[in-house]
Amino acid sequence: MKNILIYITILSTALFLTNCGGHNHDAHNHEHAHEAHEHSHDAHNHEDAHEAHGHNHDAHNHEHAHEEHEHNHDAHNHKHAHEAHGHNHDAHNHEHSAESSEPLMFTAYGDSLEIFAEIGKLHAGEESFILAHITKLSNYKPLDVPEVQFTLNIAGSSTQFTAKKDKPGIYRCHFTPAKGGKGEFVCKAQIGEKATAVSFPVNVCEAGHHHHEAEAGHEHGSNMVSFPKEQSWKIDFATEEVMPRTINSVVKGVATVSNAPENITTLVAATNGKVHYTSTVAAGSEVKAGSTLFVLETGDVTDGNAAIKYAEAESHYNFAKAEYERKAVLEKKRIVSLSDFQAAEAEYLRAKAVFENLSKNFKGGKMLLKSPVTGYISDIAVASGDYVAEGTPLATLQRDGALQLFCEVPVRHAAALRNLNDINIELNDGTCYSLAEVGGRITGVGRAIQNDCNMLPVTVIAKNLKGVVPGNIVNLYLIAPEKGENIVVPRTALVEEMGRFFVFVQHTPVMFEKRPVTLGTSDGKSVQLLTGVKAGERVVTKGAVSLKLSQGAGALDPHAGHVH
């Protein structure tokens, strides 16, 4: 039995030595240690196993260390694992430190400026930096002054520093907070003769305490759009904070456009005769005041003959003049009464006006009909060569100026029309104006149904409605008294996709969310939002279409929108 045990021990040792030179250390060494422990029951076997163990001490220790690292079987391995954990903890701390040292983003609004600032770590006694994008709210273009002043106020202590302009709208500098605590940054800029200030709260860590709350990360979903400030500065862009306000009840109508009555003149025949056009007469042609448009030939026509009328006017004028001059002498001598003299004077002036008018327009037996205004011919009522009677309309002349808008609305809106206080005018290109913007006024609101059509007429005069000509069609938003507060945005904030409407809600001045909304009442310039936007949120009111195109141009860069 003893010989068998010795043989087994020698054989096991040989196999151990053979496998130590190979690559499969773990499984065999573990098996060998187990067999040695299980079978070494006497001193000889223990000694033999110890020799085998001693002979392979280096390889076994190496393997043993490897096993300890891999399987954590003993205290040494536990210690090693603890060290490894300590190393990972350091790496984690390093990663956390890197995250916490990422710049913070701040957005603030003043009376005239928007500030979007990137600020480095804020630790008392340690240098940091500020990079600010500053936008003028008047036109959403970059501020362009050489420098701006920043002040860091904390617990009665102030640190002032100057940020120089990199390029229009972008300012940067380095600074060192003197102490820690909660405080505020104040940015002051001189715009012309006016100084303006914007402030925002900050939290500076105390010296030696390197932890601060990082600003929440930006969302980067499919509805998020990055739009850098440098890009928004190049277009017609604006945002607006949404606050509840009143929107009026509105009746929408379609109006036809015509010239205002004071800008329309009808030229009529001054006498009987055949009418002939001059070369300038054509529908739409421009005319000047005093230019000849038509010629009337009387020929052998005696009734209303221009030559006879001219002779009669001349004779009447000469007689009235002589009578007026005679009575003027007698009145000075008190031979005729004052009333007789005044009657003679009035008749003289009347005869003079008729004769002089005929003299200007009667040449060679023909009557010349001239344009009384500068404008254009909108309509011709007769053909050249037609015989016309005195007073027959020949042409309609119009001049540019005020326009008349006429629409009819259903009689069910009669109550709203009785309280009508304003009208918005929407043109074919989508632009919308209030009456005040076009110098308009409401000239007539129907109080009774006309022509049995259950419609009530509304008439508006607009003096400065550019880009609209008689014959156009426009939309009218007839505005009645207010009806409570609602979430309201300018109509320019809306974008449409497949019949659905969206607005872009600002998360930061360079990151926006496209959000679906439900529309309510519209007065043509503003739209009530029933769902989608909350009070206090900021939406894009100009440039929304550019953001829509930017979103469709490609996928969002997850790091886009940060200023560097």
Distance CA 360, CA 479 (A): 52
What integer pLDDT is reported at residue 352 of this predicted model? Answer: 87
Distance CA 487, CA 73 (A): 68
Task: DSSP for 133-148, please give it.
Answer: EEEETTTTEE---SEE
CA distances from 71 to 59, 66, 401, 429, 434 (A): 18, 8, 96, 77, 82
Please list, in sequence order, all residues whose beta carbon lies within 8 angstroms of the beta carbon of residue 158, skipping any fewer than 6 positions away: 151, 152
Residue entry with tokens 């009819």 = 408
pLDDT tens digit sequence for 322-359? 989 888 888 888 888 888 888 999 999 998 888 877 77
CA distances from 300 to 297, 310, 404 (A): 9, 15, 45
What integer pLDDT is reported at residue 304 of this predicted model? Answer: 52
What integer pLDDT is reported at residue 305 of this predicted model? Answer: 61
Coil, strand, or helix at residue 388?
strand
DSSP β-ladder status, 526-531 and 473-490: antiparallel
Distance CA 116, CA 142 (A): 12
Helix axes 2-20, 57-71, angle to 10 degrees: 70
Domains of the chain and CATH, by start: 2-96 (no CATH), 104-216 (2.60.40.1930), 238-257+402-552 (2.40.420.20), 299-364 (1.10.287.470)
DSSP 76: H
Q: Tell me the pLDDT of the chain averaged across its residues.
A: 78
Distance CA 168, CA 105 (A): 20
Q: What are phi and psi of 286, to 5 degrees?
A: -80, 145
DSSP 214: P
Distance CA 69, CA 80 (A): 7
Helix ranges, 21-74 (H): 25-39, 43-55, 57-71
What integer pLDDT is reported at residue 137 of this predicted model? Answer: 95
Q: Give the CA diameter of the chain.
A: 183
How does pLDDT run along the chain (564 residues), one tens digit per residue? 444 444 444 444 443 434 434 444 343 433 433 443 343 334 343 334 344 334 444 434 434 433 443 444 343 443 343 343 334 434 333 333 333 457 889 999 999 999 999 999 899 999 999 999 999 999 999 999 999 999 999 988 888 999 999 999 999 999 999 888 999 999 999 888 888 999 999 999 987 665 544 444 445 557 899 999 999 999 999 999 999 988 777 889 999 999 999 899 999 987 788 888 987 788 888 999 988 899 888 755 445 566 677 777 878 888 999 989 888 888 888 888 888 888 999 999 998 888 877 776 676 667 788 888 899 998 999 999 898 888 899 999 999 889 999 999 998 888 888 888 889 999 998 899 999 999 999 999 988 876 678 899 999 999 988 889 899 999 999 988 776 788 999 999 999 999 999 999 999 999 999 999 999 988 888 999 999 999 999 999 999 999 999 887 654 444 444 444
Please list, in sequence order, all residues whose beta carbon lies within 8 angstroms of the beta carbon of residue 410, skipping any fewer than 6 positions away: 454, 455, 456
* 370 strand-pairing partners: 292
What integer pLDDT is reported at residue 235 of this predicted model? Answer: 96
Beta strands in 427-557 (DSSP E): 432-434, 441-445, 455-462, 473-490, 495-497, 500-508, 511-522, 526-531, 538-542
Coil, strand, or helix at residue 389?
coil
Report CA torsion sign: 225, 230, 231, 237.
positive
Structural contact between residues 476 and 432, judged by C-beta atoms closer than 8 angstroms: no
Residue closest to 515 by CA, chosen among 499, 539, 535: 539
Distance CA 357, CA 195 (A): 67
Task: DSSP for 137-206, please give it.
Answer: TTTTEE---SEEEEEEEETTEEEEEEEEEEETTEEEEEE--SS-EEEEEEEEEEETTEEEEEEEEEEEBP
CA triple 508-432-489, angle to 5 deg: 30
Residue closest to 492 by CA, chosen among 243, 238, 223: 238
What integer pLDDT is reported at residue 250 of this predicted model? Answer: 85
What integer pLDDT is reported at residue 114 of this predicted model? Answer: 96
Coil, strand, or helix at residue 325?
helix
The token pair that represents 474 in the structure block: 């426009």
